[in-house]
Chains A and B, each alone.
Chain A
Amino acid sequence: MKEIEIASLKRLTEFVKLNFGYDFTNYAMSSFKRRISRILELYNINSVENLITKLDTEKDFIETFIVEITVNVTEMFRDPSFWRVLRDDVIPGILLNHERIKIWHAGCSSGEEVFSMAIMLKEMGILNNATIIATDLDKDILKRAQMGKYTLKNMELNSKNYIRFQGNHKLEDYYSVKNNLAVLNPDLISNVSFRSHDLVKGDIFNKFDLILCRNVMIYFNQNLQNEVLRRFHGSLFKFGYLAIGSKESLIWCDIANKFIVVNNEEKIYKKFRD
Protein backbone atom coordinates (compact mmCIF):
# COMPACT_ATOMS: atom_id res chain seq x y z
CA MET A 1 0.00 0.00 0.00
CA LYS A 2 1.62 3.20 -1.18
CA GLU A 3 1.33 6.26 1.01
CA ILE A 4 -0.98 8.88 -0.50
CA GLU A 5 0.54 12.34 -0.32
CA ILE A 6 -1.55 15.10 1.23
CA ALA A 7 -0.53 17.35 -1.66
CA SER A 8 -2.14 15.00 -4.19
CA LEU A 9 -5.28 14.72 -2.06
CA LYS A 10 -5.48 18.51 -2.14
CA ARG A 11 -5.19 18.50 -5.92
CA LEU A 12 -7.98 15.95 -6.06
CA THR A 13 -10.36 17.83 -3.75
CA GLU A 14 -9.70 21.09 -5.62
CA PHE A 15 -10.37 19.37 -8.93
CA VAL A 16 -13.62 17.81 -7.69
CA LYS A 17 -14.75 21.08 -6.16
CA LEU A 18 -14.02 23.08 -9.29
CA ASN A 19 -15.51 20.63 -11.79
CA PHE A 20 -18.36 18.97 -9.92
CA GLY A 21 -19.23 21.27 -7.03
CA TYR A 22 -18.65 18.75 -4.25
CA ASP A 23 -16.41 20.09 -1.53
CA PHE A 24 -14.35 17.52 0.36
CA THR A 25 -11.62 19.94 1.42
CA ASN A 26 -12.81 19.88 5.03
CA TYR A 27 -13.24 16.16 5.39
CA ALA A 28 -11.34 14.43 8.21
CA MET A 29 -8.04 13.42 6.70
CA SER A 30 -7.42 9.85 7.78
CA SER A 31 -10.80 8.40 6.81
CA PHE A 32 -10.87 10.44 3.58
CA LYS A 33 -7.46 9.09 2.67
CA ARG A 34 -8.66 5.54 3.33
CA ARG A 35 -11.69 6.12 1.08
CA ILE A 36 -9.38 7.30 -1.71
CA SER A 37 -7.08 4.29 -1.20
CA ARG A 38 -10.14 2.10 -1.41
CA ILE A 39 -11.27 3.65 -4.71
CA LEU A 40 -7.78 3.26 -6.17
CA GLU A 41 -7.78 -0.38 -5.17
CA LEU A 42 -11.36 -1.19 -6.28
CA TYR A 43 -11.00 0.41 -9.71
CA ASN A 44 -7.39 -0.56 -10.23
CA ILE A 45 -6.12 2.99 -10.49
CA ASN A 46 -2.47 3.34 -9.59
CA SER A 47 -2.28 6.93 -8.39
CA VAL A 48 -4.35 9.89 -7.28
CA GLU A 49 -3.22 11.69 -10.44
CA ASN A 50 -4.72 8.91 -12.55
CA LEU A 51 -7.91 9.12 -10.52
CA ILE A 52 -8.10 12.81 -11.42
CA THR A 53 -7.59 11.92 -15.07
CA LYS A 54 -10.35 9.30 -14.86
CA LEU A 55 -12.72 11.81 -13.31
CA ASP A 56 -11.82 14.26 -16.05
CA THR A 57 -12.30 11.90 -18.98
CA GLU A 58 -15.13 9.62 -17.81
CA LYS A 59 -17.94 11.99 -17.02
CA ASP A 60 -20.05 9.45 -15.13
CA PHE A 61 -17.25 8.37 -12.87
CA ILE A 62 -18.00 11.18 -10.44
CA GLU A 63 -21.21 9.33 -9.46
CA THR A 64 -19.18 6.24 -8.62
CA PHE A 65 -16.67 8.41 -6.80
CA ILE A 66 -19.38 9.92 -4.58
CA VAL A 67 -20.83 6.48 -3.84
CA GLU A 68 -17.44 5.14 -2.79
CA ILE A 69 -16.26 8.19 -0.89
CA THR A 70 -19.26 8.33 1.40
CA VAL A 71 -19.36 5.73 4.14
CA ASN A 72 -22.62 3.83 4.00
CA VAL A 73 -22.25 1.33 6.77
CA THR A 74 -25.14 1.50 9.18
CA GLU A 75 -27.65 -0.57 11.11
CA MET A 76 -31.31 -0.41 12.02
CA PHE A 77 -31.73 0.65 15.66
CA ARG A 78 -27.99 1.26 16.02
CA ASP A 79 -27.44 1.83 19.76
CA PRO A 80 -30.79 0.41 20.95
CA SER A 81 -30.56 2.38 24.20
CA PHE A 82 -30.61 5.59 22.13
CA TRP A 83 -33.87 4.53 20.49
CA ARG A 84 -35.42 3.72 23.86
CA VAL A 85 -34.61 7.23 25.10
CA LEU A 86 -36.09 8.67 21.90
CA ARG A 87 -39.28 6.66 22.37
CA ASP A 88 -39.67 7.08 26.12
CA ASP A 89 -38.46 10.65 26.67
CA VAL A 90 -37.67 12.76 23.64
CA ILE A 91 -40.66 12.15 21.35
CA PRO A 92 -43.24 12.34 24.18
CA GLY A 93 -41.56 15.62 25.22
CA ILE A 94 -42.03 17.07 21.74
CA LEU A 95 -45.64 15.92 21.55
CA LEU A 96 -46.44 17.72 24.79
CA ASN A 97 -46.11 20.99 22.90
CA HIS A 98 -46.81 20.08 19.30
CA GLU A 99 -49.44 17.98 17.64
CA ARG A 100 -47.17 17.22 14.75
CA ILE A 101 -43.51 16.38 14.80
CA LYS A 102 -40.98 17.33 12.16
CA ILE A 103 -37.90 15.17 11.86
CA TRP A 104 -34.79 15.51 9.69
CA HIS A 105 -32.46 12.59 9.08
CA ALA A 106 -29.32 14.41 7.93
CA GLY A 107 -27.08 11.95 6.11
CA CYS A 108 -29.62 9.14 5.94
CA SER A 109 -27.37 6.80 3.94
CA SER A 110 -29.10 3.54 2.98
CA GLY A 111 -32.16 4.34 5.08
CA GLU A 112 -31.83 2.02 8.07
CA GLU A 113 -32.30 4.86 10.53
CA VAL A 114 -35.33 6.21 8.65
CA PHE A 115 -37.04 2.82 8.73
CA SER A 116 -36.15 2.46 12.41
CA MET A 117 -37.78 5.82 13.08
CA ALA A 118 -40.89 4.91 11.10
CA ILE A 119 -41.24 1.60 12.92
CA MET A 120 -40.82 3.27 16.28
CA LEU A 121 -43.35 6.01 15.48
CA LYS A 122 -45.80 3.43 14.13
CA GLU A 123 -45.54 1.46 17.35
CA MET A 124 -46.17 4.68 19.25
CA GLY A 125 -49.26 5.23 17.07
CA ILE A 126 -48.01 8.58 15.79
CA LEU A 127 -46.43 7.81 12.42
CA ASN A 128 -49.13 9.88 10.70
CA ASN A 129 -48.37 12.86 12.93
CA ALA A 130 -44.82 12.99 11.68
CA THR A 131 -43.26 14.85 8.79
CA ILE A 132 -39.96 13.21 8.00
CA ILE A 133 -37.29 14.50 5.65
CA ALA A 134 -34.31 12.30 4.88
CA THR A 135 -31.32 13.75 3.06
CA ASP A 136 -28.00 12.56 1.75
CA LEU A 137 -25.25 13.86 -0.49
CA ASP A 138 -25.26 10.67 -2.52
CA LYS A 139 -28.20 10.40 -4.95
CA ASP A 140 -27.68 6.69 -5.55
CA ILE A 141 -27.87 5.87 -1.88
CA LEU A 142 -31.13 7.84 -1.64
CA LYS A 143 -32.65 5.54 -4.26
CA ARG A 144 -31.44 2.56 -2.30
CA ALA A 145 -32.83 4.00 0.91
CA GLN A 146 -36.27 4.27 -0.67
CA MET A 147 -36.19 0.66 -1.78
CA GLY A 148 -35.59 -0.50 1.77
CA LYS A 149 -33.89 -3.72 0.72
CA TYR A 150 -31.32 -5.18 3.05
CA THR A 151 -29.36 -8.41 3.10
CA LEU A 152 -30.57 -11.14 5.42
CA LYS A 153 -27.19 -11.11 7.10
CA ASN A 154 -27.66 -7.45 8.01
CA MET A 155 -31.22 -8.21 9.12
CA GLU A 156 -29.86 -10.60 11.75
CA LEU A 157 -28.01 -7.73 13.35
CA ASN A 158 -30.96 -5.38 12.84
CA SER A 159 -33.27 -7.87 14.55
CA LYS A 160 -30.91 -8.18 17.51
CA ASN A 161 -30.89 -4.40 17.82
CA TYR A 162 -34.69 -4.29 17.57
CA ILE A 163 -35.00 -6.84 20.38
CA ARG A 164 -32.64 -4.76 22.53
CA PHE A 165 -34.74 -1.72 21.67
CA GLN A 166 -37.67 -3.67 23.15
CA GLY A 167 -40.09 -3.06 20.31
CA ASN A 168 -43.69 -4.25 20.48
CA HIS A 169 -43.44 -6.78 17.68
CA LYS A 170 -40.88 -8.74 15.75
CA LEU A 171 -38.82 -6.99 13.14
CA GLU A 172 -39.97 -9.71 10.73
CA ASP A 173 -43.45 -8.22 10.91
CA TYR A 174 -42.16 -5.22 8.98
CA TYR A 175 -40.59 -6.94 5.98
CA SER A 176 -41.00 -9.70 3.47
CA VAL A 177 -38.23 -11.78 1.98
CA LYS A 178 -37.75 -11.69 -1.79
CA ASN A 179 -34.74 -13.07 -3.66
CA ASN A 180 -32.81 -13.46 -0.45
CA LEU A 181 -33.33 -9.83 0.47
CA ALA A 182 -35.47 -8.37 3.22
CA VAL A 183 -37.85 -5.81 1.70
CA LEU A 184 -39.18 -3.37 4.27
CA ASN A 185 -42.87 -2.53 4.04
CA PRO A 186 -42.98 0.58 1.80
CA ASP A 187 -46.01 1.94 3.70
CA LEU A 188 -43.60 2.75 6.53
CA ILE A 189 -41.94 5.50 4.52
CA SER A 190 -44.93 6.69 2.48
CA ASN A 191 -44.75 10.12 4.06
CA VAL A 192 -40.98 10.40 4.18
CA SER A 193 -39.52 12.86 1.72
CA PHE A 194 -36.08 11.87 0.43
CA ARG A 195 -33.92 14.68 -0.94
CA SER A 196 -30.42 15.17 -2.15
CA HIS A 197 -28.69 17.66 0.15
CA ASP A 198 -25.02 18.39 0.81
CA LEU A 199 -24.41 19.28 4.44
CA VAL A 200 -21.19 21.02 3.42
CA LYS A 201 -22.90 23.77 1.44
CA GLY A 202 -26.60 23.18 1.94
CA ASP A 203 -28.80 26.03 3.10
CA ILE A 204 -31.25 25.99 5.94
CA PHE A 205 -34.37 24.74 4.18
CA ASN A 206 -36.85 24.05 6.96
CA LYS A 207 -37.36 23.99 10.73
CA PHE A 208 -37.49 20.82 12.76
CA ASP A 209 -38.33 19.45 16.18
CA LEU A 210 -35.70 16.76 15.91
CA ILE A 211 -32.57 16.41 13.81
CA LEU A 212 -30.69 13.12 13.70
CA CYS A 213 -27.17 13.33 12.37
CA ARG A 214 -25.43 10.35 13.88
CA ASN A 215 -21.94 9.37 12.79
CA VAL A 216 -21.93 11.71 9.83
CA MET A 217 -19.93 14.65 11.14
CA ILE A 218 -17.12 12.31 12.22
CA TYR A 219 -16.05 12.46 8.57
CA PHE A 220 -15.63 16.24 8.78
CA ASN A 221 -12.85 18.28 10.32
CA GLN A 222 -13.67 20.60 13.22
CA ASN A 223 -14.14 23.70 11.07
CA LEU A 224 -16.75 21.98 8.98
CA GLN A 225 -18.36 20.43 12.05
CA ASN A 226 -18.75 23.92 13.46
CA GLU A 227 -20.36 25.20 10.27
CA VAL A 228 -22.76 22.29 10.02
CA LEU A 229 -23.71 22.59 13.67
CA ARG A 230 -24.52 26.27 13.18
CA ARG A 231 -26.87 25.27 10.39
CA PHE A 232 -28.46 22.57 12.54
CA HIS A 233 -28.98 25.18 15.22
CA GLY A 234 -30.69 27.39 12.66
CA SER A 235 -32.80 24.49 11.44
CA LEU A 236 -34.20 23.66 14.87
CA PHE A 237 -37.23 25.19 16.55
CA LYS A 238 -36.39 26.58 19.97
CA PHE A 239 -36.32 23.59 22.35
CA GLY A 240 -35.86 21.26 19.38
CA TYR A 241 -33.55 18.26 19.73
CA LEU A 242 -30.31 17.29 18.04
CA ALA A 243 -29.04 13.70 18.20
CA ILE A 244 -25.45 12.86 17.25
CA GLY A 245 -23.42 9.65 17.42
CA SER A 246 -22.37 8.14 20.74
CA LYS A 247 -18.73 9.09 20.18
CA GLU A 248 -19.38 12.57 18.89
CA SER A 249 -19.49 15.60 21.13
CA LEU A 250 -20.56 19.21 21.00
CA ILE A 251 -18.05 20.15 23.72
CA TRP A 252 -15.55 21.75 21.34
CA CYS A 253 -17.95 23.43 18.98
CA ASP A 254 -18.57 27.19 18.86
CA ILE A 255 -22.28 26.80 19.32
CA ALA A 256 -22.22 24.47 22.33
CA ASN A 257 -23.53 27.19 24.67
CA LYS A 258 -26.79 27.36 22.73
CA PHE A 259 -27.58 23.74 23.49
CA ILE A 260 -28.11 21.86 26.70
CA VAL A 261 -27.36 18.20 27.18
CA VAL A 262 -30.54 16.17 27.48
CA ASN A 263 -28.85 12.80 27.60
CA ASN A 264 -25.07 12.66 27.65
CA GLU A 265 -24.84 8.91 27.26
CA GLU A 266 -26.92 8.91 24.08
CA LYS A 267 -25.66 12.32 22.91
CA ILE A 268 -29.01 14.06 22.68
CA TYR A 269 -28.97 17.86 22.89
CA LYS A 270 -31.68 20.50 23.07
CA LYS A 271 -31.54 23.97 21.57
CA PHE A 272 -32.42 26.41 24.33
CA ARG A 273 -31.05 29.67 22.92
CA ASP A 274 -31.62 31.27 19.52
Chain B
Amino acid sequence: MVKSQLHNRYKAIVIGGSAGSFQGVVKILSNIPENFPLPIIMCLHRLKHVRHGFVEALSIKSNLEVREPYDKEGVKKGMVYLAPANYHMSLELGNYFSMSTEEMINNSRPAIDITLGSAGYVYKDRLVGILLSGANKDGALGMKRIKDRGGYTIVQDPDECMIPTMPNAALAVTEIDMKLKVDEIVKFLLDLAKLYKKY
Protein backbone atom coordinates (compact mmCIF):
# COMPACT_ATOMS: atom_id res chain seq x y z
CA MET B 1 0.00 0.00 0.00
CA VAL B 2 1.25 3.46 -0.90
CA LYS B 3 1.30 5.16 2.49
CA SER B 4 1.32 8.69 1.11
CA GLN B 5 -2.19 8.12 -0.23
CA LEU B 6 -3.42 7.34 3.25
CA HIS B 7 -4.18 10.67 4.85
CA ASN B 8 -7.05 12.35 6.61
CA ARG B 9 -7.81 15.08 4.12
CA TYR B 10 -10.29 13.08 2.07
CA LYS B 11 -13.82 14.41 2.06
CA ALA B 12 -15.67 11.53 0.46
CA ILE B 13 -15.54 8.04 -0.99
CA VAL B 14 -17.39 7.45 -4.24
CA ILE B 15 -18.13 3.96 -5.52
CA GLY B 16 -19.42 2.82 -8.91
CA GLY B 17 -20.56 -0.67 -9.75
CA SER B 18 -22.70 -2.69 -12.10
CA ALA B 19 -23.16 -6.35 -12.95
CA GLY B 20 -21.40 -8.51 -10.39
CA SER B 21 -20.76 -5.69 -7.93
CA PHE B 22 -23.55 -6.36 -5.44
CA GLN B 23 -21.59 -8.87 -3.35
CA GLY B 24 -18.60 -6.55 -3.23
CA VAL B 25 -20.73 -3.60 -2.17
CA VAL B 26 -22.36 -5.69 0.55
CA LYS B 27 -18.97 -6.85 1.79
CA ILE B 28 -17.69 -3.28 1.96
CA LEU B 29 -20.78 -1.99 3.76
CA SER B 30 -20.90 -4.85 6.22
CA ASN B 31 -17.28 -4.22 7.26
CA ILE B 32 -17.41 -0.48 7.66
CA PRO B 33 -18.24 0.63 11.20
CA GLU B 34 -21.05 3.00 12.01
CA ASN B 35 -18.76 5.87 12.98
CA PHE B 36 -17.00 5.92 9.62
CA PRO B 37 -15.66 9.47 9.20
CA LEU B 38 -16.57 10.04 5.55
CA PRO B 39 -19.65 9.93 3.37
CA ILE B 40 -19.81 6.96 1.00
CA ILE B 41 -21.51 7.91 -2.24
CA MET B 42 -22.59 5.07 -4.50
CA CYS B 43 -23.86 4.88 -8.03
CA LEU B 44 -24.82 1.33 -8.91
CA HIS B 45 -26.61 0.34 -12.08
CA ARG B 46 -30.16 -0.66 -11.29
CA LEU B 47 -33.53 -1.22 -12.88
CA LYS B 48 -35.00 2.08 -14.01
CA HIS B 49 -38.51 1.34 -12.89
CA VAL B 50 -38.00 -0.28 -9.54
CA ARG B 51 -37.89 2.48 -6.97
CA HIS B 52 -37.94 0.25 -3.92
CA GLY B 53 -35.92 -2.58 -2.50
CA PHE B 54 -32.34 -1.64 -3.25
CA VAL B 55 -31.81 0.60 -0.21
CA GLU B 56 -33.51 -2.01 1.94
CA ALA B 57 -31.31 -4.81 0.55
CA LEU B 58 -28.15 -2.84 1.27
CA SER B 59 -29.36 -1.63 4.67
CA ILE B 60 -29.66 -5.16 5.99
CA LYS B 61 -25.90 -5.58 5.78
CA SER B 62 -24.76 -2.03 6.43
CA ASN B 63 -23.75 -0.54 9.76
CA LEU B 64 -24.25 2.91 8.27
CA GLU B 65 -27.57 4.40 7.27
CA VAL B 66 -28.17 3.93 3.55
CA ARG B 67 -30.39 6.42 1.78
CA GLU B 68 -31.31 7.74 -1.63
CA PRO B 69 -30.86 11.48 -1.22
CA TYR B 70 -33.30 14.12 -2.35
CA ASP B 71 -32.40 16.79 -4.83
CA LYS B 72 -30.31 19.50 -3.03
CA GLU B 73 -29.80 17.35 0.07
CA GLY B 74 -26.54 18.06 1.91
CA VAL B 75 -23.80 15.42 2.09
CA LYS B 76 -23.05 14.17 5.61
CA LYS B 77 -20.24 11.97 6.84
CA GLY B 78 -21.04 8.55 8.17
CA MET B 79 -23.83 8.09 5.64
CA VAL B 80 -24.11 5.86 2.62
CA TYR B 81 -25.86 7.51 -0.32
CA LEU B 82 -27.25 5.55 -3.22
CA ALA B 83 -28.20 7.07 -6.57
CA PRO B 84 -31.98 6.63 -6.95
CA ALA B 85 -33.67 4.75 -9.78
CA ASN B 86 -34.20 6.67 -13.02
CA TYR B 87 -32.27 9.78 -11.93
CA HIS B 88 -28.71 10.84 -12.53
CA MET B 89 -27.10 11.90 -9.26
CA SER B 90 -24.49 14.68 -9.19
CA LEU B 91 -22.44 16.39 -6.53
CA GLU B 92 -22.53 20.19 -6.48
CA LEU B 93 -20.08 22.79 -5.20
CA GLY B 94 -21.37 23.51 -1.71
CA ASN B 95 -21.36 19.79 -0.89
CA TYR B 96 -24.87 18.74 -1.76
CA PHE B 97 -26.56 16.42 -4.25
CA SER B 98 -28.60 17.30 -7.28
CA MET B 99 -30.74 15.02 -9.40
CA SER B 100 -31.44 15.14 -13.10
CA THR B 101 -33.41 13.23 -15.69
CA GLU B 102 -31.07 13.92 -18.59
CA GLU B 103 -30.56 11.39 -21.38
CA MET B 104 -29.25 7.98 -20.37
CA ILE B 105 -25.48 7.57 -20.60
CA ASN B 106 -24.10 4.17 -21.60
CA ASN B 107 -27.73 3.09 -21.52
CA SER B 108 -27.86 3.91 -17.83
CA ARG B 109 -29.71 6.30 -15.56
CA PRO B 110 -28.24 6.66 -12.99
CA ALA B 111 -24.94 6.81 -14.87
CA ILE B 112 -21.74 6.21 -12.92
CA ASP B 113 -19.81 8.68 -15.09
CA ILE B 114 -22.06 11.48 -13.87
CA THR B 115 -21.77 10.73 -10.15
CA LEU B 116 -18.04 10.02 -10.28
CA GLY B 117 -17.28 12.90 -12.64
CA SER B 118 -19.18 15.50 -10.65
CA ALA B 119 -17.69 14.19 -7.38
CA GLY B 120 -14.24 14.50 -8.93
CA TYR B 121 -15.00 18.08 -9.87
CA VAL B 122 -16.28 19.02 -6.41
CA TYR B 123 -13.82 17.15 -4.17
CA LYS B 124 -10.70 17.31 -6.36
CA ASP B 125 -7.75 15.66 -4.54
CA ARG B 126 -9.92 14.99 -1.50
CA LEU B 127 -11.75 12.09 -3.09
CA VAL B 128 -11.26 8.35 -3.33
CA GLY B 129 -12.97 6.84 -6.37
CA ILE B 130 -13.62 3.10 -6.45
CA LEU B 131 -14.93 1.22 -9.47
CA LEU B 132 -16.18 -2.34 -9.06
CA SER B 133 -17.26 -5.18 -11.35
CA GLY B 134 -19.46 -4.34 -14.32
CA ALA B 135 -20.34 -5.29 -17.87
CA ASN B 136 -20.03 -1.96 -19.68
CA LYS B 137 -17.72 1.02 -19.74
CA ASP B 138 -19.79 3.41 -17.65
CA GLY B 139 -17.58 4.85 -14.91
CA ALA B 140 -14.35 4.81 -16.91
CA LEU B 141 -14.59 8.51 -17.85
CA GLY B 142 -15.74 9.31 -14.32
CA MET B 143 -12.58 7.68 -12.97
CA LYS B 144 -10.51 9.63 -15.46
CA ARG B 145 -12.12 12.83 -14.25
CA ILE B 146 -11.30 11.92 -10.64
CA LYS B 147 -7.70 11.19 -11.57
CA ASP B 148 -7.39 14.38 -13.63
CA ARG B 149 -8.62 16.41 -10.67
CA GLY B 150 -6.06 14.83 -8.34
CA GLY B 151 -8.24 12.23 -6.63
CA TYR B 152 -7.16 8.72 -5.69
CA THR B 153 -8.40 5.92 -7.94
CA ILE B 154 -8.99 2.26 -7.12
CA VAL B 155 -10.54 -0.44 -9.28
CA GLN B 156 -11.57 -3.86 -8.16
CA ASP B 157 -8.90 -6.30 -9.34
CA PRO B 158 -10.20 -7.51 -12.73
CA ASP B 159 -9.12 -11.05 -11.80
CA GLU B 160 -11.60 -10.99 -8.94
CA CYS B 161 -14.46 -9.34 -10.86
CA MET B 162 -17.39 -11.42 -11.99
CA ILE B 163 -17.37 -9.18 -15.08
CA PRO B 164 -14.18 -7.11 -15.45
CA THR B 165 -15.26 -4.91 -18.39
CA MET B 166 -15.80 -1.84 -16.26
CA PRO B 167 -12.52 -1.80 -14.30
CA ASN B 168 -10.67 -2.68 -17.51
CA ALA B 169 -12.31 0.23 -19.32
CA ALA B 170 -11.12 2.56 -16.55
CA LEU B 171 -7.61 1.08 -16.70
CA ALA B 172 -7.60 1.75 -20.44
CA VAL B 173 -8.49 5.46 -20.23
CA THR B 174 -6.65 6.67 -17.17
CA GLU B 175 -4.01 5.96 -14.59
CA ILE B 176 -5.48 3.88 -11.79
CA ASP B 177 -3.60 4.06 -8.50
CA MET B 178 -4.56 0.64 -7.20
CA LYS B 179 -6.05 -2.64 -8.35
CA LEU B 180 -7.43 -4.19 -5.18
CA LYS B 181 -9.54 -7.17 -4.21
CA VAL B 182 -12.65 -6.31 -2.25
CA ASP B 183 -11.03 -7.45 1.02
CA GLU B 184 -8.16 -5.07 0.35
CA ILE B 185 -10.56 -2.24 -0.45
CA VAL B 186 -12.16 -2.85 2.94
CA LYS B 187 -8.75 -2.77 4.62
CA PHE B 188 -7.85 0.45 2.77
CA LEU B 189 -11.04 2.13 3.98
CA LEU B 190 -10.52 0.95 7.56
CA ASP B 191 -6.89 2.12 7.55
CA LEU B 192 -8.05 5.44 6.18
CA ALA B 193 -10.66 5.81 8.89
CA LYS B 194 -8.03 5.33 11.62
CA LEU B 195 -6.32 8.54 10.50
CA TYR B 196 -9.33 10.65 11.36
CA LYS B 197 -9.31 12.10 14.87
CA LYS B 198 -12.80 11.41 16.00
CA TYR B 199 -12.73 7.88 14.74
Contact = CB atoms under 8 A, between A and B. Distances in A.
Interface of A: 1, 3, 28-31, 34-35, 71, 73-74, 78-79, 81, 160-161, 164, 215, 217-219, 221-222, 225, 245-249, 251-252
- The binding surface of chain A is classed by DSSP as loop
- The binding surface of chain B is classed by DSSP as loop
Contacts of B92: 28-30
A222 B121 CA distance: 20
A246 B91 contact: no
A61 B25 CA distance: 46
A29 B93 contact: yes
Given A160-B49, A222-B72, A248-B71, A215 B101 contact: yes
A153 B182 CA distance: 39
Nearest to A34: B102
A29 to B, nearest CB: 6
Contacts of B71: 217-218, 245, 247-249
B78 interface: no
B49 A218 contact: no
B72 A71 contact: no
B49 A28 contact: no
A31 B90 contact: yes
A247 to B, nearest CB: 5
Contacts of B93: 29
A41 B114 CA distance: 17
B37 interface: no
B100 interface: yes
B51 interface: yes
Contacts of B145: 1
Given A28-B92, A31-B98, A225-B72, A1 B141 contact: yes
Interface string B41-53: 0000000010100
Interface in B50-95: 51, 68-73, 84, 86-88, 90-93
A248 B101 contact: no
14 contacts: A1-B145, A29-B92, A29-B93, A30-B92, A30-B118, A31-B102, A71-B100, A160-B49, A225-B72, A245-B71, A248-B71, A248-B99, A249-B72, A249-B73
Given A28-B98, A30-B90, 17 more contacts: A29-B93, A30-B91, A30-B98, A30-B121, A31-B90, A31-B100, A73-B101, A74-B101, A164-B49, A218-B87, A246-B51, A246-B84, A247-B68, A247-B70, A249-B70, A249-B72, A249-B73
A5 to B, nearest CB: 12
A70 to B, nearest CB: 11
Contacts of B73: 249
A7 B171 CA distance: 32
A99 to B, nearest CB: 35
Nearest to A253: B72
Contacts of B84: 246-247
A246 B49 CA distance: 12
Contacts of A30: 90-92, 98, 100, 118, 121
B103 interface: yes
Contacts of A218: 71, 87, 98-101
Contacts of B141: 1
Interface in B79-134: 84, 86-88, 90-93, 98-103, 114, 118, 121
B159 to A, nearest CB: 30
B158 to A, nearest CB: 25
Given A30-B118, A218-B71, A73 B102 contact: yes
Nearest to B88: A31
Contacts of A221: 72
B47 to A, nearest CB: 12
Contacts of B49: 160-161, 164
Contacts of A161: 49
Contacts of B114: 34
Contacts of B98: 28, 30-31, 218
A100 to B, nearest CB: 31
Nearest to A80: B49
